[in-house]
Chain A
Amino acid sequence: MDIRLPDADPTDAEREAVDAVLGAPTSRWHGGARDQWQHDTHVGHGGRAMRQRRTELVPALQALQSRHGWISPGGLRYVCERLHVPPAEAWGVATFYALLATAPRPRRVVHVCDDIGCRNRGARDVIAAATAVAGAHLGHAHATAAEGDAPGHPAGDAAGSATQAPGWMPSPCLGLCDQAPAVLVTDAGAVPEERQLGGVTDDVIRALLTGAAPGADALADTRVPQQGDASLVLLRRVGVVDPTSLAAYRDAGGYRALARALDLGAEAVIAEVTASGLVGRGGAAFPTGRKWDAVRRQEATPHYVVCNADESEPGTFKDRVLIAGDPFAVVEAMTIAGFATGSTKGFVYLRAEYPLAHQRLHGAVEAARAAGLLGDDVMGRGVRFDIEIRRGAGAYICGEETALFESIEGKRGEPRTKPPFPVQVGLFGKPTVVNNVETLANVLPIVLEGGAAYAAKGTPQSTGTRLFCLSGAVARPGVYEAPCGTSLRALLQQAGVSPRLSAVLLGGAAGGFIRADETDLPLTLEHARAADATLGSGVIMAFDDPDDLREAVLRIAAFFRDESCGQCVPCRVGTVRQEEALHRLATGAPLGGVTAELALLDDIGRAMRDASICGLGQSAAAAVDSAVRRLGLFATTAQ
């Protein structure tokens, strides 16, 4: 394929940043400099080997982004030349992700959380302060590129953007709801820096926007409210064992599970996981043992293990705590999954907004590899397995397993149609097991104690313990571990819930609201289902102010509209129509009366649920629906 490239040149800094990810160019055909003899003009690589490099597209674009703070036309050209990706496709990818900019942005951008968990914990004030210091947010300066009738490139020069004053952007949930209000600071440059900060005050945001150094990451000291509780299983080591030390992890019992798994053999490991009754903690609650078994049996090779750490469901932050607080556990569990399913390669898809978790996990992978716990001969037992970390680029939809594959493959995060399912046709078209971080963390106790012992905890249908993300109107927000079957009320009380509790968002934006008088619900899949609710990703967000609640519903509707990939009509347009109807209701301007609007919302919701391609569209009306039906919100037009 001969591709036509944009007429723009990369800066030297952009070349260096891209080369650091892709390696040096091998010929002039692939972007090598004209004046270097080793860059032969005539050597072109194409075909399969070149096409396989498409998977490096997003990392290369990220390198440009963190060098100058945006992807310039010259930078885009260079990446296309290097990877032989058609520029229109690379542009499609660059414009898909919220954390990639295709117009100049300042060197520092502060992403201010403007989502349900932070809005009622001070985010409004932070945003007001940010606006006072730095003016309107950058979101709408995103694409200054003129449309085709006025051809041209975005204005601005790449290097020049570094001199601009810091700017800010509103952000969806940053996964730091226990430390609301939260921000993510990104500093582009030769040594890019990223920090997540919690408990942000006016003073902090002012300092950040006037260029002050951001200080330590909010996760630097990862703690959980139940720290020291001897009954903890998944959170046992978090805040207790040094997450940067392999030796400390081993002293605390680490890598005993892998050793035991290697002794047991792959089939027996899967049998234990199946016997444990473990189901996925990522939201869909699929039995993990069955998934592993299905992948193991596939004839097509290679097989892949993918750890889904995209965690972008508003209100969810448990995977962040697990990775930042116990990164070796994730590495060990993935290795067991790889061994059991006959995979030699694993990917962790980690959401971009978690810089410290990335650093810790990267450290853990490196340390494990150096110690022979990853690589060609794991534990000297002739087992091959290694892990590559991929970072998201700002797209909730990439948590959907097939969108995640597309993203790793260097494409827009558009979900695939199922069937075929990932266990048959997954990453790079090969059998793939995708598991949530927490699901994997459960594998360690299962292998150590045996599936039956694990299944003794919880209820017969919902075994083991689960992590819950408590936030909102509670005195002690954070990640809590509790056996399945614990009542919602008990957990809320443990976290110090507000006495004026009016409703709880259970399961996240894709879950639903329940009333304060329904909190005796035992937290199991079967009880949730019977109550027409869902545990989803373990979100428990408490509300004690009716105004906050209405605003949360509006925000959830906006969230789904923002995060829809746009592929299918029911979700692309349905999320817009749903948000419009809610705003009409909320502002007291219903079209044809409240009853007609509620009927319209119901019509929209049913079509999205029934006809959308993926879980995003299928659940985009769930929280709205529960707010209307269970809480009776919007039944009268207030204000």
Chain B
Amino acid sequence: MTATLIPITRPARTSRPPVALTIDGRTVTAEAGVTLLAACRAAGLEIPTLCFLETLTPANVCRLCVVEVEGARVLVPSCSREVEAGMVVHTNSPRVRHARRLVLEFLASSVDLSTTPGMAELLVEYGCHPERFGASAEPQSTAERAAVGVGHHEPPDTAHAATVAQPVLRDNELFVRDYAKCVLCYRCVQACGVDHQNSFAIALAGRGFAARISTELSVGLPDSACVYCGNCVAVCPTGALMAVPEFDLRAAGAWRPEEQAVTDTICPYCGVGCTVSLHVQDNVIVKATSPFAHGITQGNLCIKGRFGWQHVQPEAATASTAPARAAE
């Protein structure tokens, strides 16, 4: 059985008349109050995004979605800027392409993007050469990273480009945090906070290049306010947050999304009845998600719907044995 998917519709914000603007030479009409990104997408133009997600408040921090608006001193983030009548917008001008290229190179030279969907293609499309900033520095140990304070830093090492490489945090049975892959998109913090879960277990800590996602006092998740809803995992665009079965399968070279069957069903645990999409590989549930475009869950689940499928795994596979089984 498949649940009816209700597209997310926001109540009309205003009775303002639609606005006309020019995007890449075409006159486009958009509802007042929508973002440039929405207007561009409605016009069939693809704009790359990284931090933006429909179900979250735009953080507009990655700056991948920038476009050029005539008359503006600097480029504007299309994911959060509202359309205005008479705007003349260029989504693919040399300025725009340069900024996007550099943003991609900055990220690719400092963060492990190997599990970010679509990234390899973007790096090619924008002609990126992240290696032009120099060879990547050796990963820092946990202690080294923790010792980075705010303010004066050690002078840079002239042979290497600094990165955020660091050890994987595996402090609970349900998901890992591999912050070497973190682009600081703020999505997990928003999902954990007011946008969805209201648990506030994680927040930004530190500043500048040393800014990081952290619990209070950097304690492990079991000592934090985390309720293991996994809603942060669901929104993470880079795979920095990853459920244990997927992480272990990837490590074993046995993660094969193209072979996975995805079945939507209703979570049996309680009367809320969240829609759950079960990702099954080799007859083992390897991941559970909920559709972002679902009017009720908006992609969210609780610990049970997200991680509690051991009882239906073949031969009562547990979360930790399931991957090994699927890898066989």
Contact = CB atoms under 8 A, between A and B. Distances in A.
A572 B74 contact: no
A343 B148 CA distance: 42
A563 B208 contact: yes
A15 to B, nearest CB: 19
A604 B132 CA distance: 11
Interface stretch (B163-171, B234-242, B276-284): B163-171
A573 B105 CA distance: 10
A579 to B, nearest CB: 6
Interface in A131-152: 137, 139-152
Contacts of B327: none
Contacts of B263: none
Interface residues of A, number: 85
Interface in B118-166: 132-134, 142-143, 145-156, 158-159, 161-162, 166
Contacts of A589: 158-159
Interface of B is mostly: loop
Given A86-B203, A568-B63, A572-B211, A147 B146 contact: yes
A511 interface: no
B142 A147 contact: yes
A468 interface: no
A217 to B, nearest CB: 23
Contacts of B210: 566
Contact of B103 (A3, A395, A575, A607): A607
Nearest to A579: B156
A565 B207 contact: yes
B95 to A, nearest CB: 6
Contacts of A572: 106, 184, 208-209, 211
A611 interface: yes
Interface size class on chain B is 35 or more
B218 A148 contact: yes
A388 to B, nearest CB: 25
A591 interface: yes
A73 B146 contact: no
A380 B204 CA distance: 48
Contacts of B147: 140-144
A287 interface: no
B225 interface: yes
B110 A561 contact: no
A146 B146 contact: yes
A518 interface: no
8 contacts: A96-B206, A169-B152, A419-B81, A568-B61, A569-B103, A570-B99, A575-B209, A580-B158
Interface of B: 60-64, 66, 74-75, 77, 80-81, 95, 98-99, 101-103, 106-107, 109-110, 132-134, 142-143, 145-156, 158-159, 161-162, 166-167, 169-171, 177, 183-184, 198, 200-211, 214-225
Interface of A: 1, 3-4, 6-7, 73, 76, 86-92, 95-98, 102, 114, 137, 139-154, 169-172, 394-395, 412, 414, 417, 419, 558, 561-570, 572-577, 579-581, 583-584, 587, 589, 591-592, 596, 600, 603-604, 606-607, 609-613, 618
Given A568-B63, A613-B63, 16 more contacts: A7-B223, A88-B225, A96-B207, A143-B148, A144-B146, A148-B169, A148-B219, A154-B217, A563-B208, A570-B106, A576-B162, A583-B158, A584-B134, A589-B158, A592-B132, A609-B74
